[in-house]
Amino acid sequence: MAAFVVLLVVAVAVGYGLISPAARTESVPADAPGVEPPVAEVVPAGFVEAWRAPSGATPQPVVSGPGVVTADGDAVVGRDATTGAPRWSYTRDRPLCTVGAGFGQVLALYATADGAWCSELSALNPDLGTRGPAANPDVGAGARLAASGSVVVASSPTYLETLRSDLVTTLQYGAVTAPAQPDRQPRPDCTHTSVALGAGRLGVVESCPAEAADRLTLLRPDGTGDADTPTVEFSVPLSTRGAQLVAVSVDRAAVVLPGPPELQIFDRSGTQVGLIGLDVPEGEVAPPAGGISATATDSARVYWWSGSRTVALDRTALAPLWTLRDTLGPGTAYAGSLLVPVAAGIAVVDPVRGVVQRTIPVDRGGYSGPVMLAAQGDVLLEQRGSEVVALRPDSGH
């Protein structure tokens, strides 16, 4: 009888191992800590391509820890920033929805087996690739991740969820699946067309079927109160549909309105404190792809890309400062300058005045689409569609 019990336990254990999440996961951690590339002291005279890798699951280059992370298909790969050599990998038997970085971790969001949901979120150590906390947010297909401080938001068109750094849910908003307490969501039938997270605040532009125009709602994502009962700072109707939320600061929220383009700025009470015309094409003002605007930040400014122009905003007041035409993305900070992608290569821009000081040639072959930039030390990274390309300073110049 004892032998039978032992065999039964072993059989159950083996069966569980075959169907458990761990059995569907291959984690190959790094065998030693990585080395960061040197700090960029100056903008070089030229860049040369160092390496490239497929990365269709990253909307922009993911820089975390000492290296660069690429994500494509079902695999997340931590790479040496200088050489592109893989240092660690994490793979599951299902496709990635998206990958980002937040609070010192790589955040990998995987789809469910049927592809209808993006509800398997894992935190990975950016240096070694070892697994940390995991969670199961109920976001739908097309989800995106955005992190600020100790909070990450996983957003999809009808539902969003925020989680703190241990991946415990702090806020549920929208069409909650099987809510424990009904009637806690103010507008579960609305579509979230634009989302921004910053300074401990979460902004959402909502398009509701019973309302003639969009509305802007500001929420507290820090877990004050029950997660399924949103803490709302304010919710105000906008003047039209098709608005795009660009940024949220400590005391302001900035929304771009279409036709003609204007930047509408709200204070913490939801009162308009600014309405300023923007020098961007009218046809480019629309809800952003994936619900998150193409932006970059430095210590003093937010840089928003309209689709052909980079607009700098004061990081606190969110007032527009300057506009640069004919750009391919918002840019990134590098050695005290702002590097902005343009058709001819990389424009070196004075971030205070928005003046192009020079342009560094970069041959992108036949690629002419959007380019999202990031930097890891002196390595400049370009997200060109579903590929990440690393550029290093050209020592020959």
pLDDT tens, residue by residue, 59-112: 999 999 999 999 999 999 999 999 999 999 999 999 999 999 999 999 999 999
pLDDT at 26 over 70: yes
Instruction: Return the pLDDT at 333.
Output: 99
Looking at every residue in the chain, the average pLDDT score rounds to: 94
Residue type for position 280: V
Instruction: Return the pLDDT at 397.
Output: 64
pLDDT in tens, 334-343: 999 999 999 9
pLDDT at 11 over 90: no
Confidence of residue 5 (pLDDT cuts 50, 70, 90): very low
Mean local confidence (pLDDT), 135-150: 96
Instruction: Return the pLDDT at 365.
Output: 97
pLDDT in tens, 29-56: 999 999 999 999 999 999 999 999 999 9
User: What share of the chain has pLDDT > 90, as a percent?
Assistant: 89
DSSP state of 36: P
Instruction: Return the pLDDT at 320.
Output: 99
Instruction: Return the pLDDT at 369.
Output: 98
**HSE-up (13 A, CA, CB side) for residue 46:** 9
Cross-strand bridge partners of residue 275? 264
Mean local confidence (pLDDT), 22-30: 85
User: What share of the chain has pLDDT > 70, as a percent?
Assistant: 94
pLDDT at 18 over 80: no
Higher pLDDT, 225 or 55: 55
Confidence of residue 280 (pLDDT cuts 50, 70, 90): very high
15: left (phi over 0), alpha (psi -120 to 50) or beta: alpha
Token pair listed for 209: 């079927």
Instruction: Return the pLDDT at 396.
Output: 77
The contacts of residue 367 (CB under 8 Å, 6+ apart) are 384, 385
pLDDT at 2 over 60: no
Mean local confidence (pLDDT), 181-206: 96
Instruction: Return the pLDDT at 395.
Output: 85
pLDDT at 9 over 50: no
For the whole prediction, is pTM greater than 0.95?
no
pLDDT at 284 over 60: yes
pLDDT in tens, 161-185: 999 999 999 999 999 987 777 889 9
Instruction: Return the pLDDT at 321.
Output: 99
Token pair listed for 179: 């809510």
Which CATH superfamily hosts domain 35-393? YVTN repeat-like/Quinoprotein amine dehydrogenase (2.130.10.10)
- DSSP, collapsed to helix, strand or coil, labels residue 216 as strand
Residue type for position 68: V
Domain ranges of the chain: 35-393
Is 64:101 a contact under the CB 8 Å cutoff? Answer: yes
Higher pLDDT, 354 or 183: 354
Instruction: Return the pLDDT at 153.
Output: 99
